[in-house]
Structure 1
Amino acid sequence: MQFIIVISMIFALFIALFAIQNATVITINFLWYKFNLSQAVVILGSALFGILIMLPFDIVKRVRFRIKINELNSKIKKLDEELSIAKETINKTKEDLDLKNQNNINIEQ
Structure 2
Amino acid sequence: MEISFIFSLIFAILVAVFALKNADSVMIDFFFAKVQVSQAIVIFVSAALGAVIVTILGFVRQLKLTLKIKEQSRKIKKLEEEKVLLESRIEEIISEKDLKMGTDFEVNSVENSEIKNINSKENSDKNEVITDEK
Shorter chain as denominator, the TM-score bin is 0.7 to 0.9
Letter in 2 for 1:68: K
How far 1:65 sits from its partner (Å)?
2.1
How far 1:10 sits from its partner (Å)?
3.9
Unaligned runs of 5+ in 2: 110-134
2:113 equivalent in structure 1: none
Superposition CA RMSD, Å: 2.5
TM-score between both structures, scaled by the size of structure 2: 0.62
Between structure 1 and structure 2, the one with the greater Rg is: 2
How many residues are paired up? 107
TM-score between both structures, scaled by the size of structure 1: 0.73
2:72 equivalent in structure 1: 72
Unaligned runs of 5+ in 1: none
Alpha-carbon separation, structure 1, partners of 2:108 and 2:25 = 106
Identify which of structures 1 and 2 has the higher relative contact order when contacts are C-alpha pairs closer than 8 Å and 6+ apart: 1
Alpha-carbon separation, structure 2, partners of 1:99 and 1:52 = 70
How far 1:30 sits from its partner (Å)?
2.6
Say if 1:66 and 1:13 are closer, same or farther in 2 by CA, change over 3 A.
same
Say if 1:6 and 1:24 are closer, same or farther in 2 by CA, change over 3 A.
closer
Letter in 2 for 1:83: K
How many percent identity over aligned positions? 29
